Structure 1
Amino acid sequence: MNRLSIIAALLAMAAPSFAQEGAAAAAETVQVSSIKDPALRPYRRMLRGLDAWEEKRGLAPNASLRFELWTAEGKPAAPEGLQLRIAGNQVDIALPIDPDGSFVLPRSQEAWDDEADLVSNRKKDQIRWRPRVRTPGVPEHARRLGDLRLECEVSAAVRKEEIPLLYRAGALAAGGLCNLPMVGYVYRAPRKLASATAVAGERKLALVLHENGEAYMAPLRDKSWDNDTLVVYEFADAKP
């Protein structure tokens, strides 16, 4: 697998409320189950992301974790009509979706025991997910590097079966998939960028843009940039 393929494989990435009883719940369940091949991920794999989040919290000790839903075209998924649930043979847990298309993944022993799946009422080739780690106080036009590093750890934990065995073996020596020297780490920007710059005090580094400014390469492996380094965006549509 070439470098771009491995990038895509790595990063392509509310308490539960139960469905209402009666006809409304039945209609909602049928609507989801009628979609062919709707699974986003097995629930047990998604829980590995929560485990990585807890294990690596030192990267972003004050941050929160949510998951974002995106379309196959790389746009935020509109929540209107979108349903998400943890579903198995015995378990059916509806997950609230916020207006920004994000959700919280709860822990459920019942869902684990039932080998449930995280499913939506869209085909799995129409919907994507990715972790969203945010530390309070970071400006809207910036991202904290430690948050990006933790997002990578969560995503890699969930997706590790999708990574070729050769890379997984190398990850053991490198300290994890997010530290592999042959892998680049591309992050999608909230909108098209004119530039992205790593800033730590007086030190600055212009980052490489990808996808015509829709994404950028973050210096995750370079430990000379500490976790409090900011990646500062300049948007292409910003007024002078």
Structure 2
Amino acid sequence: MDKLIIIAAALMAAALPATAAAQSAPSVTVAATRDPVDKSYRKMLAGMDIFERNHALAPQATLRFQLLPRLPSTQLDGITLRVAGDSVSLPVTVAPDHTFTLERNQQAAQEDAALIASRKTSTLTWRAQVRSPNVPEGMRRLGDLRLECMVGVAAGLLSNNAQMFAWLGELFTSPERVCNNADGNYLFFAERPVYAITLRDGERRAPLPFNALYAGGTQTPSTLPFCDCQVLLDRSYYAPIWDRSWSDDTLLSFEDMDSPPGPDDTAIAAGYHRTGLMQKRLGPAKVVSFDSGYQMWRYTYPARRSGDPPAEFTILFGPDGAARKARLQEPVTTP
């Protein structure tokens, strides 16, 4: 408890109010002969091609595509897909986990066919799914994620909102530009709401920082409708796929919001265990709120070495305003 009081004092001196600037989406008119958010069959094939060319990132992995909900009302069970061209209509089998594969059809490619869902495409989020065998449950392999990004960008899966992203032109069409750049910001989604993610590469171990979770913690009510993470905010994260100091065999270990506190978590003193008390003691925090009622709070304090990013104190509060668990951690650093 005494240790926490000392840390709290440091946090009180370092904490600053965190604000997120709301961004308004530009208005763009997109001319198209079909729904502009239908997926291009040619682009999906391009994603399959890039998977084959870069298979060395995940030599034993298989490729599927995945449907995820974009709106609270999205119902994925029973959804059907088809590849539709001028003269071709090919049904696509959707598995119970809402994943699918595509067959190559020369006629559909020649006709620039579209992949059409039985739901409004604007209610869906699409992703590539690359999975290597023998990855432990609750973990993901970094090489798989690198390949998922390259396939996803080539296949045009970054967003379903054409009005939001059409103005960005070529920026989101280059897998190399997006996936090999620290500013690429390709969103991944965990199976469950995320509390913490730890990178493990041999003996090297480091937590992902707060700004790698929850779409960077920058979404506002005005920007969230334009994010693939609209109803998946608590499951979204950025992986350091661009950082080659982490090998392809690096594992990302996930801790869920609902899991009990672990050995890396910090005990919370009685005077800090509710939102009002925490704010009274430490001041305003950077807060990300979720539809579930959970909140993640973040405070920063000076790093050990000059020039390093600040260290972080994060607290998960439940819908009742009570602190569930907290963690002190240093940010990811490159050796």
TM-score by length of 2: 0.55
The equivalences for 1:136-147 within 5 A come to: 136-147=133-144
Q: Which amino acid counterpart does residue 153 of structure 2 have in structure 1? A: A
Aligned alpha-carbon RMSD (Å): 2.9
2:120 to 114, 123, 141: 123
Q: Distance in 1 between matches of 2:123 and 2:94?
A: 17
Question: Which structure is higher in helix share?
Answer: 1
Q: Distance in 2 between matches of 1:186 and 1:62?
A: 23
Q: Is the 8 A contact 1:207 1:216 kept in 2?
A: no
What is the match of residue 26 of structure 1? Answer: none
What is the match of residue 185 of structure 1? Answer: 186
Q: CA deviation at 1:95?
A: 0.7
Moved more, 125-134 or 181-190: 181-190
Gap change, CA 1:76 and 1:205, over 3 Å in 2: farther
Q: Is the 8 A contact 1:83 1:121 kept in 2?
A: yes
Gap change, CA 1:178 and 1:195, over 3 Å in 2: same
Q: Is the 8 A contact 1:78 1:100 kept in 2?
A: no
What is the match of residue 46 of structure 2? Answer: 48
- 1:164 is aligned to 2:185: no
Q: Which amino acid counterpart does residue 185 of structure 1 have in structure 2? A: Y
1:48 match: secondary structure = helix
Q: Is the 8 A contact 1:38 1:121 kept in 2?
A: no
What is the match of residue 94 of structure 2? Answer: 97
1:162-193, Cα deviation, whole Å (9 max, x unpaired):
58347469x69xx4431124323332111111
Q: Distance in 2 between matches of 1:214 and 1:134?
A: 18
Q: Which amino acid counterpart does residue 99 of structure 2 have in structure 1? A: S
Q: Distance in 2 between matches of 1:105 and 1:48?
A: 12
TM-score by length of 1: 0.75
Q: Is the 8 A contact 1:79 1:97 kept in 2?
A: no
Q: CA deviation at 1:123?
A: 1.3
Q: Which amino acid counterpart does residue 214 of structure 2 have in structure 1? A: H
Q: Distance in 1 between matches of 2:246 and 2:105?
A: 37
What is the match of residue 66 of structure 2? Answer: 68
Q: Which amino acid counterpart does residue 236 of structure 2 have in structure 1? A: A
- 1:218 is aligned to 2:219: no
Aligned residues: 203
Q: Distance in 2 between matches of 1:185 and 1:39?
A: 18
Gap change, CA 1:163 and 1:136, over 3 Å in 2: farther
Gap change, CA 1:152 and 1:77, over 3 Å in 2: farther
Q: Distance in 2 between matches of 1:44 and 1:56?
A: 18
Q: CA deviation at 1:42?
A: 1.6
Q: Distance in 2 between matches of 1:225 and 1:141?
A: 19
Q: CA deviation at 1:197?
A: 0.5
Gap change, CA 1:79 and 1:55, over 3 Å in 2: same
Q: Distance in 2 between matches of 1:188 and 1:223?
A: 21
1:68-105, Cα deviation, whole Å (9 max, x unpaired):
1112138995332x110111121111111100000011
1:50 match: secondary structure = helix
Q: Distance in 1 between matches of 2:64 and 2:111?
A: 23
- Greater Rg over alpha carbons, structure: 2
- 1:197 is aligned to 2:198: yes
Q: Is the 8 A contact 1:59 1:227 kept in 2?
A: yes
2:68 match: secondary structure = strand
2:121 match: secondary structure = coil
Q: Distance in 2 between matches of 1:143 and 1:150?
A: 12
Q: Which amino acid counterpart does residue 61 of structure 1 have in structure 2? A: P
2:116 match: secondary structure = strand
Gap change, CA 1:65 and 1:162, over 3 Å in 2: farther
Q: Which amino acid counterpart does residue 194 of structure 1 have in structure 2? A: Y
Q: CA deviation at 1:133?
A: 0.3
Any gaps of 5 or more consecutive residues in structure 1? 6-35
Q: Is the 8 A contact 1:39 1:118 kept in 2?
A: no
1:18-57, Cα deviation, whole Å (9 max, x unpaired):
xxxxxxxxxxxxxxxxxx9496212111111111111111
Q: CA deviation at 1:136?
A: 0.5
Q: Distance in 2 between matches of 1:139 and 1:163?
A: 41
